[in-house]
Structure formats: C-alpha cells, structure tokens
Amino acid sequence: MSIKILHQVGHNANWNIDSFSEEQCGDGLILSPVHQDMPHVQELSQSLRRRSLFDPQYYLPNSPKAKLSTYPFFPGQISEVFSTVNFLLLALESAKQCVEFQIEQQFEGIIIPARFVDQMTTQYFDRQEDLTVKPFLTALAAVGGSTPVYLTVPITSAMLIDDGFQQQLLNWATGFQEISGVYILVADNRPTKQIRSSAFLFAYLKFAHELSNAGLSVILGHLNTESILFSLIEGVTLTFGTFENTRMFSLDKFIDNEEERRGPKARIYLPALLNWVRYEQAMEIRNDNPELWDKVYTETVHSQQAIAAAADPAFNQPGLYKHHFLCLAEQLKELAGLPVQRRFDAIRAMIKRAAELHAQIEDMPLDLDPHGNGEHLGPWLDAINRFYRLYLKS
C-alpha cells in the first residue's frame, strides 16, 4: 500500500502551494480556513483542490479569527451568540452548508469537523456526535455520492497513552459505517519541539495501526519529523508543515493573543540528523568541520540560496521551509518504496546513524541547543522497536 504526503497549510499558504504545484513536492494539501479566507480557497485551481482536503476547523467554535468569519457555516458565524445550546439548534444547517462547500469545491474527500475536547471523559463521544458527527452524517446522506468521508479525531497525548481511553476511541471511531477514514490530530503539551516520549509515540503508532487494520484510511495531521516513524503504518497519509504551529497541533492559532512575541531563530532541517538545527549552529558545523557537514547536510536549491545570501535567513522567509519540504518528502518517498520489514530496518538504521552523527558534533566540540540536539532519538528507537516486536514481527 502506498503512503501519501500532504502539506499541512498554515500562514503563508503560498509557500506550500508553490512547493506542491511548481516542484511536485507532496501529493496535495490540507487547507486551513483560519489562515485562508473563503474567496482565497475558491480561487485555487480546480486541479489543486481535487488533490487536496479542506479541514473545517471547528476546534474552537467561538474563535474570533477574522478569516474563519468568511465561512458562513462556521459555528461562530451561523450562531449570532455562540453557545453549545444555541449551536445544537443550528448544527444541521451548519453541516449542510459545510458539506455543500466541500462538494462544490471538488475536494478529494469530505472532512467531518470536530470540537477539541481535552478532558478524558466519556462525554467526549456524546459531544462530538451531537455537535458535528450526527448532523454531518445526516447532511451527507441527503446528498449521497461516493466521495471519501473522513472523521476528525482531535485528542490529547494523555488520551492515547491511557489504554482504556484509547480503546474507547478505537471502538467509537470504527463504529460509523459511513466513513472511509479518520483525520487524527494529537495535542501534546511538551517543552521540546521534537517528541521525546517513547510511551506517547508507541501509543500513537498502535492507535494508527489499529485503525488501519480496521479498514479505515488514516490521515495523521500536524506532524513534525516523527512522520518518518509513522511511515511504518501501511497506507497512511502523513503531513508536513511550515511554521511550528502546523507541525504541532494546539488551539493557539485560533485564539487572539495581543502579547508581542519574539520571532524564533531560523532553523535548517538536516535529514541525516532527523532534526532542525539552529541556522547559526549549522553554519558552525559547515565552517569548522566540512567533512562532518557533508555527512549531515542534503543540498537543495533553496538551502544553497540561503547559504549563499549576504545575510543569514530569517524564520519568516520561505527558503529553509521549502528545503525541509523537499528533504522530508524524499526521505518518506524512499521509505514508502520498501516492504514494511525493510522499512523498519531502514528507519532503525536512520535513527542510529543520526545518534552517531550527533555524537560527532559533540566531539567537535559543539553543543547544539536543547531543541536541536539528538535527545529525541533514544525514545524514537525505543518506540519503534516495541511497536515492531508487538505488531509487525511475523
């Protein structure tokens, strides 16, 4: 079974669109109404929309974000004063309009949205069904058709790690005959950019594997470099994004924050290290140890332009992100072409090689910042080894 790669679109959507359309990087896009208003989505080419999905983003139904207000079916728009009680009376109308929009735009599939609920409670399921799932299934039944339908499942890492709640999630998500697949987003409140919990990664791998085994198509949203690990799930659709809020799911982007934030330092994705490294530290490796640089760096036209520029790149320039798209897509493409046994062996070897290269950087000596070092690699290896032993080993 093939693996698909979709751009998780966010701010500066044109960077993703250009990467996909002009460089044939990835297989399509997941469009984001919090970042793209309705006219902008409607103006996209038909050929692009047909290979993409639209995430309605009902996660925070009363979000004040301006671009969401351009969609008349968004909960905060269809109800003059949003409350759960008010919206329940209008949920079917919201569903009808949202389904109609997705059909009219000829997206590759239809996504049933969901509210983000962070409490580990059995009410999670009742709330989702009442607010979106049942109204959307009713609306879909009225229009018919054979377009694939995806159920959004927004959860927390704690929900996944809890075996009992994960089983409830599995029972619920596999209980709708009308859906073709699931679109999973996991909020993980962690202090590091890379996931360093083997328990979380193992639970996530297991959850995706069980859903796939149940015959559902699985889309894993808002992934970072750990998408390499999830290529172990046959037939999975993986995502990659630009800024960090497209590579880690949270509600931050749906909330108005008046606090002035300092822009992050520019980082470059170094495929052999399986990590993003602060640009100035990457240049220290390049300048002080060219032989090691050749081992960790993969050249693209975008990275070469950034390095050749008179000034160091800033975090809000497209070059290093487009470099990341090309590098990660190539890594995933190579893995997708392997049988699952060889794929596991290749990922395991990639992690071990990355750990060796990180050790060589330390020996320079150079201490990479806490987000750019290799401390995630041990937990990654532990997670895939356990997953392989329990679910893939024949």
Specify if 264 maps to a domain.
Answer: no
Specify if 265 maps to a domain.
Answer: no
Query: Which CATH number characterizes residue 189's domain?
Result: 3.20.20
**To 10 degrees, the CA torsion angle through 236, 242, 247, 248?**
-150
Residue 44 has a pLDDT of 97
- Find the domain containing 377 and state its range: 270-392
**Do both 287 and 223 map to the same domain?**
no
**Do both 236 and 298 map to the same domain?**
no
Specify if 366 maps to a domain.
Answer: yes
All residue ranges of the chain with pLDDT < 70 are 1, 81, 257-262
**Do both 116 and 231 map to the same domain?**
yes
**Do both 222 and 298 map to the same domain?**
no
Q: Tell if the pTM clears 0.95, that is, is over it.
A: yes
**Do both 282 and 160 map to the same domain?**
no
Domain boundary (200, 228, 254) is at: 254
Residue 92, CA distances (Å) to 31, 110, 140, 153, 394 in order: 23, 16, 11, 19, 47
Residue 258 has a pLDDT of 47
- What total of structural domains would you count in the chain? 2
Residue 122 has a pLDDT of 85
Residue 2 has a pLDDT of 82
**Inter-residue contact 231 to 335 (CB < 8 Å):** yes
**Do both 244 and 275 map to the same domain?**
no
Residue 261 has a pLDDT of 60
Domain boundary (201, 225, 254) is at: 254
**Do both 288 and 242 map to the same domain?**
no
Residue 262 has a pLDDT of 65
Specify if 263 maps to a domain.
Answer: no
Q: Cα–Cα distance between 242 and 27 in angstroms, integer?
A: 16
**Do both 228 and 351 map to the same domain?**
no
